[in-house]
Amino acid sequence: MSRRLEGLLEASATRHPDRTAVVDPSTGRSVSYAEFAALSAGVAEALRAAGVGPGDRVGVSGKSIATLAAIFGAMRAGAAYVPVDVSAPAARSAAILADCAVRAVVAPRELSAKLAAELGIPDEPRDPLPALAGLGPQLVLTAGPGAGAPADLGGEDRNLAYVLYTSGSTGKPKGVMHTHASALAFVDWCAEAFRPTPEDRFSSHAPFHFDLSILDIYVPLMHGSTLVLIPDELGKQPTGLAALIAEERISVWYSTPSILTLLVEFGRLERYEFPALRIVNFAGEVFPVGNLRRLQASWSHPRYLNLYGPTETNVCTFCEVPGRVPDERSDPYPIGVPCSGDRCRVVDGTTDVARGEEGELVVAGGSVMVGYWNDPAKTDAVFFEQHGDRWYRTGDVVREDESGAYVFLGRRDRMIKRRGYRIEPGEIEAALHRHPEVVEAAVLGRTDAAGKVVITAHLACRTEPLSVIALKRWCSENLPLYMIPDRFSFHDALPKTSTDKVDYQMLKGLA
């Protein structure tokens, strides 16, 4: 019988029934492995009674012990879960749930009513899940728009574990389909790389609709460790977050670099002690080396790992950062070498480029998605068959350095062409991040009405905004003249998406 994600919880409940599985500091509640397994079994029973079976999808929303029980309950019922952002407009979440034809939705009561209204579902009494009372906002079970709509994934249905929707370039979210096997390819690598023990306490900072949550949820529950839910309202408050990491004795942390930058800048880390912290993982965006160096000055003892991979691949490469970033280093660390049993190449089209030359990173292997839900054309566009493998095009431009590690250069779709030169905004951002007063930098290019390409640098600075003259001088000393930004825009902090990455779409609206 093939392995499944919910089996990780069931095995740990057998081995460690009395150990603490999940802690929710926002409610002060915690559950043991035996209790958590029983909760998820109860949700599975309720879902089956509502007609959910193998191959169906179940929408979930929120972040609590109860939401986690709904996730595992959906999988125990043979279904895949589809998490939606509790803070997103109900219309967007409803569109996702309709696109994925979910058969049922488990969500907080107030959100459930809004989703039903958007989906055109009759406003009828919704079934509360009483066993989950007191474990966060009360969750209710309601029918979804997919009742009676069979799925056809060419035999993959029984193995589909979850569908994560990411922003699409056309404005329509893309549903990334992962099987139990593709998730476990990544989770098994984490087990080997991190050597978790039942004494470990993992952070759960990412919302469940963000792919960082796959490590957060399944790696600790596979090993009898404790999962500590980071409350949404605390997740971006650096002083409170620093205190929680210390008080909850977090040993394995995982977040975007933006959150770690907030911690080192405003978290007053010197006020606390973090003896339990042994691993700091970061992913999702480039970590400016100056900010990483400052973090290591406060947290000098953990291992630091840069994990890379789009939602479509889980994590496919990694780089372990030295315990101390050399003072002379100014470039970000590479995204590293393949992991999760995956294979990577750097190509121009479908042809490999020489080591040291830039090209698109493509990935094949067990951690790669099945495809995009309900969009075979888009799936076909990002895959190609070659050498007996199915290769996924990441859209990321990299080069392979002398050591065999991949160096991230930027997104193919963010490239700027000006004066005959091809410009990667990430190179300008890296130069600006080297300035001692710059905390955050994001660079955008646009073509104005006269057909001229205008480059704007959006900055958050440590103290007062720097003068444009000083910034131009800095850029002229660190960049070719054709890369120097035309405009500088100053912010207290750069806007972020719900997954804590810089929100370039919002910045476009400000340009």
The residue among 168 and 211 whose pLDDT is bigger is 211
Q: Which residue range is the domain that position 361 belongs to?
A: 341-410
Residue 124: pLDDT over 70:
no
* Residue entry with tokens 């978790």: 196
CB 359 within 8 A of CB 353: yes
- 42 and 143 housed in the same domain: yes
Residue 117 lies in a domain: yes
Amino acid at 280: V
Q: What is the pLDDT of residue 302?
A: 97
Query: What is the Rg, in whole angstroms, of the alpha carbon atoms belonging to the chain?
Result: 23
- 392 and 423 housed in the same domain: no
Structure tokens at 382: 């990002």
The residue among 57 and 109 whose pLDDT is bigger is 57
- 358 and 405 housed in the same domain: yes
Q: What is the pLDDT of residue 150?
A: 61
Adjacency order of strands within the sheet including 453-461:
438-447, 453-461, 487-490
Domain stops at, among 129, 151, 173: 151
Per residue in 444-456, pLDDT (tens digit) is 988 877 778 899 9
Confidence of residue 116 (pLDDT cuts 50, 70, 90): confident
- 48 and 125 housed in the same domain: yes
Domain stops at, among 388, 410, 432: 410
DSSP-assigned letters across all residues of 58-112: EEEE--SHHHHHHHHHHHHTTPEEEEE-TTS-HHHHHHHHHHTT-SEEEEEHHHH
CATH, residue 490: 3.30.300.30
- 435 and 384 housed in the same domain: no
- 363 and 456 housed in the same domain: no
CATH, residue 85: 3.40.50.980
- 444 and 380 housed in the same domain: no
* Residue entry with tokens 């810089």: 502
Distance from C-alpha of 178 to C-alpha of 81, rounded to nearest angstrom:
10
Residue 305 lies in a domain: no
Confidence of residue 294 (pLDDT cuts 50, 70, 90): very high
Q: What is the pLDDT of residue 73?
A: 97
CB 276 within 8 A of CB 201: yes
Residue 496: pLDDT over 80:
yes
Domain stops at, among 385, 410, 435: 410
Distance from C-alpha of 100 to C-alpha of 422, rounded to nearest angstrom:
39
Distance from C-alpha of 236 to C-alpha of 265, rounded to nearest angstrom:
12
Q: What is the pLDDT of residue 66?
A: 95
- 122 and 74 housed in the same domain: yes
Please count the structural domains in the chain: 3
Residue 125: pLDDT over 60:
no
- 389 and 427 housed in the same domain: no
- 462 and 506 housed in the same domain: yes
pTM, to two decimals? 0.86
Confidence of residue 427 (pLDDT cuts 50, 70, 90): confident
The residue among 131 and 272 whose pLDDT is bigger is 272
Residue 335 lies in a domain: no
Instruction: Pick the closest to residue 264 from 235, 239, 286, 228 (CA basis).
Output: 239
- 433 and 464 housed in the same domain: yes
CATH, residue 392: 2.30.38.10
Residue 169: pLDDT over 80:
no
The residue-averaged pLDDT of 90-116 equals 91
The residue-averaged pLDDT of 186-196 equals 98
